Amino acid sequence: MKIYSYSDLSKQEIESICLRQLEDDITIQDRVKSIVDAVKTDGDKALFNFAKQFDQVELAQLFIDKKEIEEIAASIPSEAKAAIDTAYQNIKTFHAAQAKKEEKIETMPGVTCWRETRAIDRVGLYIPGGSAVLPSTFLMLGIPATLAGCKEIVVCSPPQKDGKTNCYLAYCALKLGIEKIYLVGGAQAVAAMAYGTESVPKVYKIFGPGNRYVTQAKQLIQSTTMTAIDMPAGPSEVLVLADETANPSYLASDLLAQAEHGADSQTILVSTSNEIITKTLEQVEIQLKELPRKDVTALAIANSYTVLVKDLEQGMEFSNTYAPEHLILSTEHFEKLIPLIANAGSVFLGNLTPESAGDYASGTNHTLPTSGFAKAYSGVSLDSFVKKITFQHISPKGLENIGSTVEVLAEAEGLRAHRNAVSIRLKNN
């Protein structure tokens, strides 16, 4: 890992090390477009073909139903079942607290305004299932979707080798009350949910992480159809800010947890202490050796870097410029840093709060803005599954109070009919 000293870096150099590459691989874009077009044109037929081509599975039908879900879920090991139950409860508790009824506001006497929340009727959840099957993602998307009251929750996940889904996903479906899992993966799943096919219902918003094909497909359907997406996505990343109160072996474990996601993951250590940096890099080497995914993890570590800063405040300055998906504050002095945080997806406070706790079970959502998108986007929450509709009611008194204001502004904008809509009511009032 390269070591930078913050004070030696120019503004341009800082910007340059904060830069993440946006996907602009034309080959991938073209392949995704042809997959999406095929699904749009051929529907289910295209999905069966892609299952054969990409998942090496000859499917008899494109989904498993409630009965099969129950059968598969029954085989879950009891330890995993208990873990999913605990994670489910924590995630549900945290997201349920995000539902707020807003009060009515009388902006002027007789003019009453408020917002009400309505679920997005049809949502699509993409649950990756290629190199790793991710029950945690199913919980992170399925729990707020059910809490929000989305009427139709379409779940797509690539078929396993046996043409089914695995026991973890099946158990999550059972807990969430979701009665079908569509065995469709990749860009073709995104296309199916955006356009609808004979089997897969069309949805209004698509959620979920995925590989470069899934991400490209989401971008494409966002700009060409009426379908919304949760957020743009890039490779996962962590920035760990540590001072001398941190524990190097904990720091190393956090960096490696991020790095094992893939060679393009970014793991950044920012520290006030040269000694902490040195010891952490030693620990990284030691812990790395024992990992099953050590090859890919080593690649990600090699592409990452550390930054030496003069104090925690300077570290926060760098973190805000980088805008990390995950920010770990490995210091006993985390409290004073919270107000300084401007851009981050999710924040892990203190030495006993590893990112993996939030990935699975603390309760916060793990679907978060990557690539610097944390400057403008929030992670997924209950809000992501609802719309907030504004309401207004004007009484006779209110019309008197607000009438001339509307008339004058409409006239100033040259919109006479807008003015008339008030004038005609004022006349009869």
Q: Which residues within the stretch 63-102 sit at the binding site for its own copies (CB under 8 A)?
A: 79-80, 82-84, 86-87, 89-91, 93-94, 97-98, 100, 102
For residues 268-287, which are near its own copies according to CB under 8 A? Answer: 287
237-242 vs 346-349, strand pairing mode: unpaired
Q: Confirm whether residue 236 is marked as ligand binding.
A: yes
| Alpha-carbon dihedral 315, 321, 323, 327, rounded to 10 degrees | 0
Nearer to its own copies, 59 or 264 (CB): 264
**Could you say which of 250, 268, 271, 280 contacts its own copies (CB under 8 A)?**
250
Q: How far is the CB of 126 from its own copies (least distance, A)?
A: 16
Q: Phi and psi (nearest 5°) for 329?
A: -100, 90
Is position 325 annotated as part of the catalytic site? yes
Cα separation, 331 vs 244, in Å, equals 8
Among 1, 17, 99, 111, binds its own copies (CB under 8 A): 111
Residues 6+ apart with CB under 8 A from 162: none
Among 136, 146, 266, 280, binds its own copies (CB under 8 A): 136
Binding mask 197-226 for its own copies (x = CB under 8 A): -------xx-------------x--xxxxx
Closest to its own copies by CB, 50 vs 373, is 373
What DSSP line would sit under 137-174, residue for residue?
HHHHHHHHHHHHT-SEEEEE----TTSS--HHHHHHHH
Residue from 42, 58, 286, 396 in contact with its own copies (CB under 8 A) = 396
Q: Which of 52, 310, 333, 388 binds its own copies (CB under 8 A)?
A: 388
Segments in 25-129 forming alpha helices (H): 26-42, 44-55, 66-73, 78-96
C-beta closer to its own copies: residue 195 or 373: 373
Determine if residue 258 is labeled as part of a ligand binding site: yes
CB 150 within 8 A of CB 123: yes
If one asks whether residue 405 binds its own copies (CB under 8 A), the answer comes out as yes
Is 188 known as a binding-site position? Answer: yes
Residue of 326, 333, 393, 400 marked active site: 326
Structure tokens at 221: 């359907």
Instruction: Return the residue of 30, 116, 285, 295 that touches its own copies, per CB under 8 A.
Output: 116
Residues 326-355 close enough to bind its own copies by CB under 8 A: 334, 338, 341-355
CA of residue 50 relative to chain centroid, distance:
26
Q: How far is residue 6's CA from residue 315's CA, in Å, rounded to a whole number?
A: 9
* Least spacing, CB of residue 318 vs its own copies, in Å: 15
Helix (H, G, I), strand (E, B) or coil at 272: coil
In 3D, which of 64, 33, 38 has the Cα closest to residue 129?
64
Dihedral angle at the C-alpha atoms of 198, 201, 207, 208, nearest 10 degrees?
A: -40
* Beta carbon of residue 92, minimum distance to its own copies (angstroms, whole number): 9
Candidate ranges 5-13, 184-192, 309-317, 362-370; the one touching its own copies (CB under 8 A):
362-370
Which one is catalytic: 237, 260, 325, 355? Answer: 325
